[in-house]
Amino acid sequence: MSGEKSAPTAPPAPRPPATTTPDGKDAFRFLKDLHGRLVDEPLIPGSAFYEPLHEGNIQDDPVARMFTSIAFTPVQSIQLFSGFSGSGKTTELLRLKQRLEQAGFVVVYANALDYLNPAEPVDITELLIVLAAAFGEAVAELPGGAAMTESFWGRLLNFLTNTELSLTQAGIKVEAEAPLREVFGKLKAGVDLKLELKTASSFRQNLQRVLNSHLASLQQQVTDFYADAVRRIRVERGPQTNIVFLFDQMEQMRGGLLTERDVIQSVERIFTIHVERLKIPDLHVVYTVPPWLKFVTPGMVAMVLLPARHLWNNNPARTPTEANRRAFQSVVMKRLGDDGARRLFGEDDAERGLLVDTLIDQSGGHLRDLLRLLRDVVLRSASLPSLPVNATVVAATINALRRDYLPIARNDAKWLAEIAHNRVTALPDTEPGAINRLSRFLDSHRVLYFVNAEEWYDVHPLIRDEIDKVLRVAASADADPHG
């Protein structure tokens, strides 16, 4: 009809590129499958993708150290385990879990982030509550565990409502100086209380103040709960059963821009002043803790800290460590497969090896960065008219990752240059600001932590030249401030 506008038509659905491999197979499907094999997530024991980067390391296998410490210690022990972001800590913790279970231990695993807010300071009272609650809920998930133990939330509410503890004892004016039983009467056991402990609510703060004046009583409630749980597990599994509690992800406690100082100081207090309270009778406990704890409590807290696998030696020339490079070549081949590596990087062994080694070297020996580089190569390959990729694609991938590390502030460049030159942290002090800044360097992989006989540090290879560039520009500007 004249003058009428036709209805808009939907744009055509995107179609995958018609890229084909030399053997004529659809490369889009091949690359999609390859991309799925490069996912960055903790690996469970037995995974076809697992590469024993630390296993069998005579000098420093963290899992072997922790397992031996548990096995050599009768009945109970406490260990602190940590690793910087993307270091593979959870994968190694799962390896420890498997090894312990194979040796006959009952292993109870819980995730701290289900109970704690990593951006908020943690108090010893709420940590004691959270640990017991997490242990009880994890035990209930064990085969036959539903009947082994009651919820700690219920026991806690009974303790608080049946004990004559008044909020006024802590100088708190709430609900006309009502006793705790009236406050807790509004909460349902478990869900509500669990949520309150993850917020910055006044309720949570009031609870901390009250319970700190009754810490011994709370500790006894927690101890009695563990004793009941252990007794019931041993009725089920045998009287000589040894139990290990793995409390994972507490290393995420670092605070935000406004809370970093308070969070750091709160965690430091717990693992120095209150560490004895974290020992649980008849249990072996492994806490994953923030790696920066190593810097604020040097020599005070024994910790197993997971290093990166170094691709170069700690000498001025940074000579390559071929054995470690071969380990990362194995990582690549397990992820891609022999056929996948040939289709992606080419049939020529020398050229394919050069491209793969370039990606490995530029990853700095950090598994997360290597997987990220490989995924980006695969994504870029989907737009090519044909496979395999060439050195130009690999270079573009490396440059893209390098840009994610930029910009580098002048003050950061000075500190990073000192680390690169001396291979130490060059930490100016142990104040929260400096600790958090160094932790960000390590968690973002700008700085890498290594161990071979002794510990050392170095900057990521992607940013070495950038650091020098920032310092040259700064020096030039200082020499001629008016341009």
**For the segment 422-452, what is each residue's pLDDT rounded down to a tens digit?**
999 999 988 888 988 998 899 899 999 998 8
34-50 residue pLDDT tens: 999 999 998 888 899 99
Indicate the residue among 306, 328, 344 that finishes a domain.
306
Q: Which residues contact 325 (CB under 8 A, 6 or more apart)?
A: 311, 357, 360, 361
Domain range holding 90?
A: 73-306
Q: Are residues 269 and 335 in the same domain?
A: no
Does residue 14 lie within any of the structural domains?
no
- DSSP conformation letters of 282-349: T-EEEEE--TTHHHHSTTTS--EEEPB--SB-SSTT--B-HHHHHHHHHHHHHHHHHHHHHHHH-S-H
Whole-model pTM? Answer: 0.82
Beta bridge partners of 20: 26, 386
Does residue 453 lie within any of the structural domains?
yes
**Alpha carbon distance 116, 124 (integer Å):** 12
Q: Are residues 235 and 100 in the same domain?
A: yes
pLDDT at 206 (0 to 100) = 75
Q: Are residues 321 and 349 in the same domain?
A: yes
Which pLDDT band, with edges at 50, 70 and 90, does 209 fall under? Answer: confident
| 263: three-class secondary structure by DSSP | helix
Q: Are residues 250 and 339 in the same domain?
A: no
Structural domains counted in the chain: 3
pLDDT at 182 (0 to 100) = 47
pLDDT at 168 (0 to 100) = 45
Q: Which residue matches tokens 């609900």?
A: 175
Pairwise pLDDT comparison (208 vs 166), residue with the higher score? 208
Q: Are residues 198 and 81 in the same domain?
A: yes
Does residue 272 lie within any of the structural domains?
yes
Does residue 105 lie within any of the structural domains?
yes
pLDDT at 145 (0 to 100) = 63
Peptide bond into 239 cis (omega under 30): no
Does residue 51 lie within any of the structural domains?
no
Does residue 202 lie within any of the structural domains?
yes
Which pLDDT band, with edges at 50, 70 and 90, does 31 fall under? Answer: very high
**Alpha carbon distance 99, 352 (integer Å):** 37
Which pLDDT band, with edges at 50, 70 and 90, does 1 fall under? Answer: very low
Please name which of 215, 156, 218, 223 lies closest in space to residue 188, comparing C-alpha atoms: 156
Q: Are residues 90 and 128 in the same domain?
A: yes
| 459: three-class secondary structure by DSSP | strand
Whether the predicted pLDDT of 325 surpasses 70: yes
Which pLDDT band, with edges at 50, 70 and 90, does 174 fall under? Answer: very low
Range in 213-217, 326-330, 456-460 the model is least confident about: 213-217
Rg of the chain in Å (alpha carbons): 27
Structure tokens at 360: 């490995």
pLDDT at 59 (0 to 100) = 63
Backbone angles phi, psi at 467, to 5 degrees: -60, -45
Burial of residue 426 (CB within 10 Å: 0-12, 13-18, 19+) is middle
Does residue 53 lie within any of the structural domains?
no
Q: Are residues 291 and 203 in the same domain?
A: yes
Structure tokens at 104: 């006959």
369-409 residue pLDDT tens: 999 999 999 999 999 999 999 999 999 999 999 999 999 99
Give a three-class secondary structure readout of 113-181.
HHCCCCCCCCCHHHHHHHHHHHHHHHHHCCCCHHHCCCCHHHHHHHHHHCCCCEHHHHCCCCCCCCEHH
Please name which of 21, 40, 45, 22 lies closest in space to residue 31, comparing C-alpha atoms: 21
